[in-house]
């Protein structure tokens, strides 16, 4: 299946791709066991990651010849990153809370002794009265159902939080993957600069041997060649570090790959900003407020149930030792003015629920700012990269060839020759940085909108060998 077809299939199956990112149970449904919570579809989360990294041209879904693909990196991170494992423990804790919420009020067994060890005829135990009773509480206002609702909606919030964490992890994997891809290009550029510096040194030596160039220029060329070698060493060290940083996302301290696969210089076309912002509400970071709102509503219901007084009851048998008789005893009690005493708790719960709406508005404003920044930075990066690829770099390549030829013939000096070389290398370095920025900002936009930018964003179609189950 081609990349853009994969995206189309995902989007046609549901109004939001993130409906696959959590348990198959709806957000407002509480699974009965932790096993249902663990039924998160890793393969569909991987597809979400592919959408995040859609600008990259992917090859195979497995590591082949020590080459890592984005697909494999995403799967490993989802399966092995410890940040997602904590949700299993939190779900287990909620299961325990649900068991507690389902409990009815406990029964109490009581024993009471009266009229013993007194004075005169009550001395000793001759006049003792012994009572054995059983007591409990009748919960009023459907308190048990309210407690169950708290746990059920807490699980919905937990599921939504796992969506957010999973998506954030996929986004981080994509960004670090792009960093490694850019570092690979930087190493290639540094190798080219080293070769150019060596070539320049040979040309300068030839001119010096012919008496056309002073020895000072030979020394300058030797220094430039040494600096190029140091730059190459530095970029290789940076690449090694970025590989470790990437592999750390799935718990490896030593990378098991040598290179990664992808096309750094394809970023697709632009998309209208207003269309992008209209999709922001589909982001799990916004949709989580709906789950929190349901939780707060459940807390309001629980607070209101506390305004209904519970009835304490007891029943038992009393033994009169003096008359050698027995009798039944029974009683009940309930607190007074519970509604008035509980009004503060209800007001607090309502205020916390209303706070959710304000927090959602603030989050939308922040995401608008983030989207606006990412949109325009990506646009500028794409324009810069295209200008460098189509106009600037070809012109500088021709200029370097002509300058080198002119220098060898004695028409230009060493400074003009070196300047032409450095201008070309600088332009290629900026091209790598711009292409990397375009991909990174594109991934950020897709993470904010929870959808791919467009079918054209993926460039040429890529066959994925094998299917992710």
User: Which of these, 440, 453, 458, 448, lies nearest to 175 by C-alpha position?
Assistant: 440
Domain count, the chain: 2
Residues 301 and 315 in one domain: no
Q: Say if 467 falls within a structural domain.
A: no
Residue 323: predicted pLDDT? 72
Residue 42: predicted pLDDT? 43
Q: What is the CA radius of gyration of the chain?
A: 36
Residues 297 and 375 in one domain: yes
| CATH code assigned at 118 | 2.20.200
Confidence band for 292, pLDDT divided at 50, 70 and 90: confident
Q: Which own/partner pairs from 69-73 qualify as long-range (CB within 8 Å, at least 24 positions apart)?
A: 69/260, 69/261, 69/262, 70/173, 70/174, 70/177, 70/260, 70/261, 70/262, 71/46, 71/464, 71/468, 73/173, 73/177, 73/246, 73/249, 73/250, 73/260
Confidence band for 452, pLDDT divided at 50, 70 and 90: low
**Residue-wise pLDDT tens digits, 320-366:** 777 778 888 888 887 777 767 777 777 887 888 888 888 888 988 99
Average pLDDT, the chain: 77
pLDDT beyond 70 at 202: yes
Residue 114's beta-bridge partner residues?
A: 129
Q: Say if 350 falls within a structural domain.
A: no
**Residue-wise pLDDT tens digits, 229-270:** 999 999 999 999 999 999 999 988 888 898 888 888 877 666
Q: Say if 296 falls within a structural domain.
A: yes
Confidence band for 377, pLDDT divided at 50, 70 and 90: very high
pTM recorded for the entire structure: 0.69
**Residue-wise pLDDT tens digits, 29-63:** 334 333 333 344 444 454 455 445 444 444 333 44
**Residue-wise pLDDT tens digits, 232-243:** 999 999 999 999
Residues 169 and 130 in one domain: no
Residues 323 and 412 in one domain: no
Q: Say if 360 falls within a structural domain.
A: yes
Residues 205 and 298 in one domain: yes
Residues 92 and 62 in one domain: yes
**Residue-wise pLDDT tens digits, 385-430:** 999 999 999 999 999 999 989 988 888 888 888 899 999 999 999 9
Last residue of a domain, one of 286, 318, 341: 341
| Residues of the domain holding 320 | 106-138+308-341
Residue 325: predicted pLDDT? 81
Residues 377 and 302 in one domain: yes
């Amino acid at each position: 299946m081609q990349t853009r077809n994969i995206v189309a299939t995902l989007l046609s199956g549901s109004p939001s791709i993130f409906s696959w990112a959590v348990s198959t149970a709806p957000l407002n449904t509480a699974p009965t066991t932790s096993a249902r919570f663990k039924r998160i579809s890793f393969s569909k989360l991987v597809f979400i990651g592919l959408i995040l990294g859609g600008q990259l041209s992917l090859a195979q879904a497995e590591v082949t010849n020590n080459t890592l693909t984005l697909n494999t990196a995403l799967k490993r991170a989802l399966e092995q990153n410890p940040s997602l494992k904590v949700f299993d423990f939190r779900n287990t804790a909620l299961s325990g809370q649900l068991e507690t919420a389902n409990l009815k009020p406990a029964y109490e067994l009581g024993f009471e002794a009266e009229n013993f060890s007194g004075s005169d005829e009550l001395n000793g135990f001759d006049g003792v009265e012994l009572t054995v009773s059983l007591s409990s509480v009748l919960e009023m206002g459907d308190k048990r159902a309210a407690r169950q609702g708290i746990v059920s909606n807490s699980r919905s919030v937990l599921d939504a939080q796992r969506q957010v964490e999973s998506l954030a992890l996929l986004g981080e994997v994509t960004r670090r993957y792009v960093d490694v891809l850019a570092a690979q290009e930087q190493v290639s550029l540094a190798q080219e600069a080293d070769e150019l510096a060596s070539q320049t040194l040979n040309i300068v030596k030839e001119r010096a041997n012919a008496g056309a160039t002073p020895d000072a220029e030979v020394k300058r060329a030797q220094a430039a060649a040494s600096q190029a070698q140091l730059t190459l060493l530095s970029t290789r060290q940076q690449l090694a570090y970025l590989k470790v940083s990437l592999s750390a996302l799935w718990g490896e301290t030593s990378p098991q790959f040598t290179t990664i696969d992808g096309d750094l210089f394809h970023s697709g076309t632009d998309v209208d900003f207003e269309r992008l912002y209209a999709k922001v509400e589909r982001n799990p970071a916004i949709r989580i407020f709906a789950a929190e709102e349901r939780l707060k509503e459940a807390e309001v219901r629980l607070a209101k149930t506390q305004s209904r007084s519970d009835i304490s009851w007891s029943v038992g048998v009393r033994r009169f030792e003096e008359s050698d008789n027995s009798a039944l005893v029974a009683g009940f009690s309930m607190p007074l003015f519970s509604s008035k005493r509980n009004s503060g708790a209800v007001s607090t719960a309502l205020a916390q629920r209303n706070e959710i709406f304000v927090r959602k508005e603030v989050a939308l404003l922040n995401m608008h700012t983030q989207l606006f920044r990412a949109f325009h930075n990506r646009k500028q990066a794409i324009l810069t990269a295209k200008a460098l690829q189509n106009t600037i770099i070809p012109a500088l390549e021709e200029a370097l060839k002509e300058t080198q030829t002119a220098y060898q013939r004695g028409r230009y000096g060493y400074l003009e020759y070196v300047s032409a070389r450095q201008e070309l290398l600088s332009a290629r370095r900026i091209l790598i940085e711009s292409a990397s920025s375009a991909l990174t900002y594109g991934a950020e936009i897709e993470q904010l909108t929870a959808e791919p930018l467009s079918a054209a964003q993926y460039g040429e179609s890529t066959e994925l060998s094998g299917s992710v189950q």
